[in-house]
Amino acid sequence: MFQSKAVARQHFLSIREQRTHAEGLLTCAQQVLPDVRRVALYVSRGPEPQTGALIDWLLATDRDVLLPILYADNDLGWGVAPGAADLVPGRLGLSEPPTDLGSDAIATADLVICPALAVARDGVRLGRGGGSYDRALARIHPGTPIWAAVYDAEIVDALPSDAHDHPVDAALTPTRLIPLRRSGDD
């Protein structure tokens, strides 16, 4: 067990920075993706599990892809992905869709795949610490599946959590989808 979220973040970021190859999520997602019309996803950066090919495949199979737009207060708006070539530069070097549908647009997603540094088997998700995704995930409809994108080694038995942390239902890795027991579920 990690002493704090800060210690856990430092640990997982350090391991990710040592990766020589960032693996993609497409192959696994093609095998496990439910029949959904709209997926909220994100544009990966650096050593994160890669989402570019997954976004392209979702668009090619006539699905809508919502991508986040990072606001100055670290909240997230959402826009429909126009295609990788049409993304625009956003805050903190992120790539974003050109049109903002607002922060409540995530509620229209049938599936949410969010970034994480690690997840615990009880559904606790460790993000980068800005609270952006915890706020966004609180806006989705109950029952909408939430998957955290991580590498297999980033699934752990326990992580520190706070009351505002929003649990996830599963971990999507480049090799498999792992159902998680959400915090508070019996």
Gap between the Cα atoms of 153 and 49, Å rounded:
12
Which amino acid belongs to residue 136? A
**Total residues found in the chain within this entry:** 186
Does 143 appear as a known binding residue?
Answer: no
**Does the annotation list 126 as a binding residue?**
yes
Query: What gap in Å lies between CA 46 and CA 20, rounded to an integer?
Result: 10
129 is in an annotated binding site: yes
d(CA 40, CA 84): 15
> Does 43 belong to an annotated binding site?
yes
Backbone φ and ψ for 100, nearest 5 degrees, come out as -95, 120
**48 annotated among ligand-binding-site residues:** yes
Indicate if the alpha-carbon torsion angle 125, 127, 130, 134 is positive or negative.
negative
125 annotated binding-site participant: yes
Which two tokens mark 132? Answer: 């952006």
128 assigned binding-site residue: yes
Residue numbering of the annotated binding site for substrate: 43, 48
Residue numbering of the annotated binding site: 43, 48, 125-133
Residue numbering of the annotated binding site for ATP: 125-133
